[in-house]
């Protein structure tokens, strides 16, 4: 069966520090992968999506970047975190005949 793993679950980082959030999918190949952010009091915002290895589309200009070094691995990064980067980050995947499946999320607090 297909599963999606996202870690860490919570993270507290100081302003100016780097960030790396990882998401992996099991049980499928060539998934479409997505990073969403849910900021406090706001809805879910699509940050990046990827339809294949090395293929990244950015939806919102910001302090973050994404990479897809392997077919089932999607990484969200930042070189220097800002206070405004705080939020709840969700990874998701879709296949050719499956709907969206979301990871458990990472709650990032930048202090």
Partner 1 sequence: AQSVSQHNHHVILSEAASLELGCNYSYGGTVNLFWYVQYPGQHLQLLLKYFSGDPLVKGIKGFEAEFIKSKFSFNLRKPSVQWSDTAEYFCAVSEYGNKLVFGAGTILRVKS
The alpha carbon of residue 2 and the mean position of all alpha carbons in its chain are separated, in whole angstroms, by: 18
What is the distance between the alpha carbons of residues 51 and 40, in angstroms, rounded to a whole number? 28
Stretch that binds partner 1, among 13-21, 67-75, 76-84, 99-107 (CB under 8 A): 99-107
Among 22, 65, 86, 105, binds partner 1 (CB under 8 A): 105
Please give the size of the binding site for partner 1, defined by CB under 8 A: 19
Question: Residue length, the chain?
Answer: 111
Nearer to partner 1, 36 or 81 (CB): 36
Distance, CA of 27 to CA of 34 (rounded, Å): 17
Applying CB under 8 A, which residues contact partner 1? Answer: 32, 34, 36, 42-46, 49, 59, 90, 92, 94, 99-100, 102-105
């Amino acid at each position: 069966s297909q599963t999606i793993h996202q870690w860490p679950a919570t993270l507290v980082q100081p302003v100016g520090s780097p960030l790396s959030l990882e998401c992996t999918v099991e049980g499928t190949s060539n998934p479409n992968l997505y990073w969403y952010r849910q900021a406090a009091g706001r809805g879910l915002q699509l940050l990046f999506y990827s339809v294949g290895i090395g293929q990244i589309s950015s939806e919102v200009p910001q302090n973050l970047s994404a990479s897809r070094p392997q077919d089932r691995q999607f990484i969200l990064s930042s070189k220097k975190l800002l206070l405004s980067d705080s939020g709840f980050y969700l990874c998701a995947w879709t296949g050719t005949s499956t709907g969206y499946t979301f990871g458990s999320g990472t709650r990032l607090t930048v202090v």
